[in-house]
């Protein structure tokens, strides 16, 4: 929460465009969201109590996190040549399946739908144009 307040303060002098979201608003939207999520988690821990720590290292979860980091690295490297609309559904689907969701058809529908919503939101509302790749 402190970090999000710092981001909010540091972005005060960034330029704001007349239309769309610019370099001044985007970090503030993210910082506000992180602050709200941090506040919810903080209040939840105060009300319900902090979870008990376990001594055992969960190697399976660490492996999944490492694989997700590798997938994200490959995704970012392929984003410019392949493009957001074509690459993102595969990345989202792989992420959903990686973390154990069993319904493959639902995962595919969610991946495609989320990609479409994100693409339209950024291009139409925020006016931040995501890479479409060299194919288009």
Please check the confidence at residue 45 and state whether its pLDDT lies above 90.
no
Which H or E element spans position 29? helix 26-48
Assess whether 40 and 63 both reside in one domain. no
Assess whether 65 and 122 both reside in one domain. yes
Rounded CA-CA distance 109/89 in Å is 9
Task: Please indicate, yes or no, if residue 76 is contained in any of the structural domains.
Answer: yes
122 in Cβ contact with 129 (< 8 Å): yes
Range of the domain at 42: 2-48
Assess whether 27 and 75 both reside in one domain. no
pTM across the whole model:
0.65
Please check the confidence at residue 40 and state whether its pLDDT lies above 80.
yes
Range 122-132 average pLDDT: 83
Question: The tokens of 135 are what?
Answer: 């194919």
134 in Cβ contact with 81 (< 8 Å): yes
The total number of structural domains that make up the chain:
2
Assess whether 77 and 102 both reside in one domain. yes
Assess whether 66 and 116 both reside in one domain. yes
Assess whether 66 and 42 both reside in one domain. no
**C-alpha atoms less than 13 angstroms from C-alpha of 69 in its C-beta half-sphere:** 6
Please check the confidence at residue 20 and state whether its pLDDT lies above 70.
no
Please check the confidence at residue 17 and state whether its pLDDT lies above 90.
no
- Contacts of residue 115, defined as CB under 8 A and 6 or more positions apart, other chains included, come to 84, 85, 88, 89, 92
């Amino acid at each position: 929460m402190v970090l999000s307040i710092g981001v909010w303060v540091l972005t005060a002098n960034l330029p704001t465009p007349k239309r769309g979201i610019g370099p001044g608003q985007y970090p503030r939207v993210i910082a506000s969201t992180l602050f709200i999520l941090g506040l919810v988690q903080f209040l939840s821990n105060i009300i319900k109590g902090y979870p008990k720590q376990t001594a055992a290292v969960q190697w399976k979860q660490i492996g999944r996190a490492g694989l997700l980091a590798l997938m994200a690295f490959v995704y970012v490297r392929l984003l410019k040549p392949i493009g957001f609309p074509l690459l993102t559904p595969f990345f989202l689907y792989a992420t959903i399946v990686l973390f154990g969701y069993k319904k493959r058809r639902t995962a595919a529908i969610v991946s495609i739908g989320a990609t479409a919503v994100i693409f339209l939101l950024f291009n139409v509302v925020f006016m931040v144009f995501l890479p479409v790749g060299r194919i288009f």
